[in-house]
């Protein structure tokens, strides 16, 4: 009994001593950092953002006045683009790697996803998950063609991020949806996926740019420099095994006056955004 009491007192004394010398804080910090690194190395091998193939709306924008945005499907060209995209991704993704798909509920996105998945054996595919949060920006039901030019001009002045369509959403609203979706994405990677998994997100051009903005914590100004992705273009974020970072492997199209955009983000920095905000400030000082 005396021995147990003595050992307990000794342990408490050692812990108190460590605490007084900040060694306890350092030890806890080291454990947390190692845990975060372990988690980041277990995350998906790649996150691949894919825009849907050419739709009837891309071919003739007047269709938005008579057909709901979510019901607009692919053209024949769009279907061919999706099949080609699947074959291109098959060259990138290894035979022993698995694929998990998130898809927008819009018809053109679901059709694109179905055609892309035809390139892969069923054994590679984990069941597809439809997620309404990655849908297209809401433009306010059927569009009024009479005010189309006025809307376009106003949006150009206000910017893609802040402009709100009548009865619809602004880019900032979609950004909030992206944030909610990313929380679910991280939980998925934390608990159910393995390091050889690829995550395909079949969505829309604006969503893809806002996803990159949110993931890399770019400013609104940097978001505004990005041009839209072409139909069935994809953007690859690949995990670096040495650092646990997701590196942007795809060169982005920028408007001519745009500056270079920072191209990688640590998953640890995503958990602790204050770290990355310092990096952004330092980068902006270099650009000034």
Q: Where are the beta strands (DSSP E) in the chain?
A: 46-51, 98-103, 125-130, 197-203, 234-239, 245-248, 264-266
55 among annotated binding-site residues: yes
Q: Which strands form 125-130's sheet, in the order they lie side by side?
A: 125-130, 98-103, 197-203, 46-51, 234-239, 245-248, 264-266
Q: Does residue 114 belong to any structural domain of this protein? A: yes
Question: How distant, in Å, are the alpha carbons of 14, 54, 207, 267, 275 from that of 262?
Answer: 45, 29, 19, 15, 15
Cα 273 to its chain centre, rounded Å, is: 16
What pLDDT, on a 0 to 100 scale, did the predictor assign at position 148? 80
Domain span at residue 203? 42-262
Global pTM? 0.79
Which candidate, 141, 147, 270, places its Cα nearest to that of 215? 270
Mean pLDDT of the chain: 82
Q: Does residue 191 belong to any structural domain of this protein? A: yes
Q: Does residue 175 belong to any structural domain of this protein? A: yes
Asked whether the beta carbons of 275 and 216 are under 8 A apart, the reply is no
Number of domain units in the chain? 1
Over range 171-192, report the average pLDDT: 91
How far is residue 149's CA from residue 140's CA, in Å, rounded to a whole number? 16
Q: Does residue 269 belong to any structural domain of this protein? A: no
51 among annotated binding-site residues: yes
* CATH label of the domain that carries residue 89: 3.40.50.1240
Q: Does residue 230 belong to any structural domain of this protein? A: yes
How far is residue 151's CA from residue 278's CA, in Å, rounded to a whole number? 37
56 among annotated binding-site residues: yes
Beta carbons within 8 Å of 228's beta carbon, 6+ residues apart:
205, 206, 209, 253
159 among annotated binding-site residues: no
Highest mean pLDDT among 41-50, 124-133, 184-193, 202-211: 202-211
Q: Residue 15 corresponds to which tokens in the numbers above?
A: 């812990």
54 among annotated binding-site residues: yes
Listing DSSP states for 103-131 in one string gives E-SSHHHHHHHHHHHTTS-GGGEEEEEE-
What pLDDT, on a 0 to 100 scale, did the predictor assign at position 37? 56
Highest mean pLDDT among 152-156, 161-165, 238-242, 243-247: 161-165
Which candidate, 197, 179, 175, places its Cα nearest to that of 188? 197
Q: Which tops the pLDDT comparison, 269 or 12?
A: 12
Q: Does residue 110 belong to any structural domain of this protein? A: yes
Over range 200-218, report the average pLDDT: 96
41 among annotated binding-site residues: no
Over range 30-39, report the average pLDDT: 55
Q: Which of 37-46, 200-209, 244-253 has the lowest mean pLDDT?
A: 37-46
How far is residue 264's CA from residue 237's CA, in Å, rounded to a whole number? 9
> Any idea which residues carry the catalytic annotation?
52, 136
| Res. 39: pLDDT tops 70 | no
What pLDDT, on a 0 to 100 scale, did the predictor assign at position 284? 39
How far is residue 21's CA from residue 36's CA, in Å, rounded to a whole number? 25
Within 10 angstroms of residue 56's Cβ, the number of other Cβ atoms is 18
Q: Does residue 101 belong to any structural domain of this protein? A: yes
Q: Mapping DSSP to helix (H, G, I), strand (E, B) and coil, where does residue 143 land?
A: coil
52 among annotated binding-site residues: yes
63 secondary structure, DSSP code: G
pLDDT tens per residue, range 216-275: 999 999 999 999 999 999 999 999 877 778 999 999 998 776 544 445 554 444 444 433
| Res. 53: pLDDT tops 60 | yes
Q: Which tops the pLDDT comparison, 247 or 12?
A: 247
53 among annotated binding-site residues: yes
How far is residue 249's CA from residue 260's CA, in Å, rounded to a whole number? 14
Over range 36-56, report the average pLDDT: 83
Question: How distant, in Å, are the alpha carbons of 107, 110, 170, 194, 241 from that of 175?
Answer: 22, 22, 9, 27, 29
Q: Does residue 58 belong to any structural domain of this protein? A: yes
């Amino acid at each position: 009994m005396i021995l147990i009491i003595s050992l307990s007192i000794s342990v408490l004394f050692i812990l108190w001593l460590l605490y007084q010398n900040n060694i306890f804080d350092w030890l806890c910090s080291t454990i947390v950092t190692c845990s975060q690194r372990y988690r980041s190395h277990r995350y998906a091998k790649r996150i691949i953002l894919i825009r849907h193939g050419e739709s009837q709306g891309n071919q003739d924008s007047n269709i938005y006045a008579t057909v709901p945005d979510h019901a607009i499907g692919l053209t024949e060209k769009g279907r061919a683009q999706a099949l080609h995209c699947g074959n291109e991704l098959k060259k990138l993704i290894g035979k022993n790697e698995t694929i998990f798909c998130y898809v927008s509920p819009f018809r053109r996105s679901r059709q694109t996803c179905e055609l892309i998945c035809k390139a892969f054996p069923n054994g590679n595919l984990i069941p597809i998950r439809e997620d309404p949060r990655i849908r297209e920006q809401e433009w306010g039901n059927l569009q009024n063609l009479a005010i189309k030019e006025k809307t376009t001009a106003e949006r150009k002045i206000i910017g893609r991020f802040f402009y709100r369509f009548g009865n619809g959403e602004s880019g900032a609203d979609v950004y909030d949806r992206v944030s909610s979706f990313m929380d679910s994405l991280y939980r998925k990677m934390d608990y159910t996926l393995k390091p050889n998994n690829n995550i395909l997100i079949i969505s829309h051009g604006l969503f893809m740019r806002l996803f990159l903005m949110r993931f890399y914590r770019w400013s609104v100004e940097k978001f505004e420099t990005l041009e839209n992705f072409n139909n069935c273009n994809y953007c690859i974020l690949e995990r670096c095994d040495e650092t646990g970072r997701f590196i942007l492997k795809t060169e982005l199209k920028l408007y001519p006056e745009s500056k270079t955009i920072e191209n990688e983000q640590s998953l640890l920095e995503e958990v602790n955004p204050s770290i990355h905000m310092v990096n952004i400030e330092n980068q902006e000082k270099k650009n000034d």
